[in-house]
Amino acid sequence: MKPQIRMAGGYGFALVVVATLVVVATLAVAGTIRPATAAEGGKAPPKQDWSFNGALGTYDKAALQRGLQVYREVCSACHSLKRVAFRNLEALGYSPEQVKSLSAEYEITDGPNDEGDFFERVGLPSDRFPAPFANDNAARAANNGALPPDLSLITKARAGGADYLHALLTGYREAPAGHEVPDGLYYNEYYASQQLAMAPPLTEGQVEYADGTPSSVEQMSSDVTQFLAWAAEPELEARKQMGFKVLLFLFVLSVVMFFATRRVWSRVE
């Protein structure tokens, strides 16, 4: 007697269900039925070939280090990065000593001490990046009423993720004729309303890279985007590597279970 794993006539049903799922998934991937998002209204950002894309994608550590430099020298003037601790920077390829000296460049407010006073001390690897402003109101007051968002999760918190961020940072253009941009706002076709309060943050040669890479706007934007993608998803490399093994295991298990089930069912007349 030979095996019969059979749909027993359920083929039609299963086919339609699977077909529907595939069609819905395809449409969703194509973006046509993606639920309306905050980025709606902005131009769709072009897809970039990031090193962390793909099944076994990893971060480019040199790019992350350059991106960190861009964040520290440019972005951090207005944007906090409050969920990233200095100790996390070891993931960028820095030694514990390098992390220690980097964190020591920061002054951290601590306290209260035994006398009840708050005091400044040198930063430790366990500290997180200090925010540029004392609170949101101070940030708004210094930025024309606009609140520069914390960047720790920015690539996860925007539709389009890293592609969107890179497109936005390099997407400042002259407003087209007839498009009135109010004072204090800047035209950017990737932004939802096409006009945002952040002035073009990057200019040619703004940062002197430690590794000698020429600092074009494109280069700095790409580097800081990769750094912020890491900041938002520090677990990405571990996740993808584990995922690969898990999927491999489950595939083999499925095949084994398929034949085991066939064998067991071969007894049924």
Partner 1 sequence: MSAPHSSHSGSHNATPAKGFYGWMEARLPALSLFNKTLRDFPEPKNLSYLWNFGSLAGIVLVIMILSGIVLATQYTPHVDMAFDSVERIMRDVNYGWLIRYIHANGASFFFLVVFIHMFRGLYYGSYKKPRELLWILGVIIFLLMMATAFMGYVLPWGQMSFWGATVITNLFSAIPLVGEGIVQWLWGGFAVGNPTLNRFFALHYLFPFVIVGVVIFHIWALHVVGSNNPLGIDVREERDQIPFHPYYTFKDLFGLSVFLFFFALFVFYAPNYLGHPDNYIPADPLVTPAHIVPEWYFLPFYAMLRAITFDIGIPFTDIVFVEAKLGGVLVMFGAIGVLFILPWLDRSPVRSGRFRPLFKPCYWLFFVCCVFLGYVGAKPADATLLGLPLQWFGLLGIVYYFAYFLVLLPFVLPKLEKVPELPVSIADAYSEKSSGKQKAAKEQNPTEEGQAE
Measure the CA–CA gap between 3 and 6, rounded to whole angstroms: 9
Q: Compose the 183-222 pattern: x for residues touching partner 1 by CB under 8 A, - for all others.
A: ---------x------------------------------
For partner 1, give the closer residue by CB, 152 or 215: 152
- Candidate list 24, 104, 122, 141; residue touching partner 1; CB under 8 A: 24
Measure the CA–CA gap between 133 and 22, rounded to whole angstroms: 48
**Interface with partner 1, residue 44, by CB under 8 A:** no
Inter-CA distances, 44 with 145, 161, 166, 217, Å: 27, 11, 12, 20
The tokens describing 149, both together, are: 């968002």
For partner 1, give the closer residue by CB, 9 or 214: 9
For partner 1, give the closer residue by CB, 124 or 153: 153
Q: Compose the 147-176 pattern: x for residues touching partner 1 by CB under 8 A, - for all others.
A: --x--xx--xxxx-x---------------
Contacts of 261 (CB under 8 A, 6+ apart): 5
- Considering only residues 117-136, where is the footprint of partner 1 by CB under 8 A? none
**Interface with partner 1, residue 1, by CB under 8 A:** yes
Given a contact cutoff of 8 angstroms between Cβ atoms, the answer to whether 263 and 3 are in contact is yes
For partner 1, give the closer residue by CB, 122 or 157: 157
**Interface with partner 1, residue 9, by CB under 8 A:** yes
Contacts of 67 (CB under 8 A, 6+ apart): 223, 224, 225, 226, 227, 228, 230
* DSSP track, 155-177: TTSSTTHHHHHHHHHT-B-PPPT
Closest-CA residue to 175 (of 193, 159, 160, 158): 193
**Interface with partner 1, residue 22, by CB under 8 A:** no
What is the closest distance, in whole angstroms, from the C-beta atom of residue 179 to partner 1 in the complex? Answer: 20
CA 145, 227, 158, 218: dihedral to nearest 10 degrees? Answer: 80
What is the closest distance, in whole angstroms, from the C-beta atom of residue 246 to partner 1 in the complex? Answer: 5
In 230-252, which positions are buried (b, 16+ CB within 10 angstroms) versus exposed (e)?
Answer: bbbbeeebeebeeeeeeeeeeee
For partner 1, give the closer residue by CB, 177 or 238: 238
- Candidate list 15, 22, 38, 122; residue touching partner 1; CB under 8 A: 38
**Interface with partner 1, residue 257, by CB under 8 A:** yes
**Interface with partner 1, residue 40, by CB under 8 A:** yes
Contacts of 7 (CB under 8 A, 6+ apart): 14
Measure the CA–CA gap between 115 and 113, rounded to whole angstroms: 5
For partner 1, give the closer residue by CB, 164 or 187: 164
Residues in contact with partner 1 by CB under 8 A are 1-10, 13-14, 16-17, 20, 24, 33-41, 55, 83, 88, 149, 152-153, 156-159, 161, 192, 232, 234-235, 239-240, 242-244, 246-247, 250-251, 253-254, 257-258, 260-261, 263-269
